[in-house]
Amino acid sequence: MNIQIAVLCDSAVEYQNRLCILGTFDTIRTHQLPATKPQCSIALQILWNKTEEGSHTLKTRFMDEDGNPTLEAVNSSVKVSVPPTSSFLTTNHILNIQQLKFVRTGNYLIVIDIDGNMKAEIQLQVLQIEGKN
């Protein structure tokens, strides 16, 4: 298994097995706290080999820089079945998030676990900037 894409973005959609990603970012700049990102998405693309056929669990965890959870973890599953004519299968996963709120500046981490093992990290920093809105 290979995570080919793991990003935080403004939006993501899938059509015809294609993952379309708009506006990846790793920094939120705000004039005031708390800061709210009205809508964003986590987009993943995972490549599975024939030896990995079967059911797998995915868990997305959200943490602050101290390792404390900032949102409830999101669990999902995927059943991998590689077609007989292929040597691998790619699956796309999109997690849409509404009203993502940050009460303080600092570094945040989104961790992707597959079958109980950490497989990817997405880093995010929230910065407060001076000046008027």
Residues 1-51: tens digit of each pLDDT = 999 999 999 999 999 999 999 999 999 999 999 999 999 999 999 999 999
For 107, what's the count of Cα atoms within 13 Å in the CB-facing half-sphere?
7
Residue 133 has pLDDT above 80, yes or no: no
Separation in Å, CA 27 to CA 75, 127, 128: 25, 7, 11
Q: Which domains does the chain have, with CATH numbers?
A: 2-128 (2.60.40.2550)
Evaluated on CA atoms 67, 69, 71, 76, the torsion sign reads positive
Looking up tokens 């004039």 gives 31
For residue 50, what is the DSSP state? G
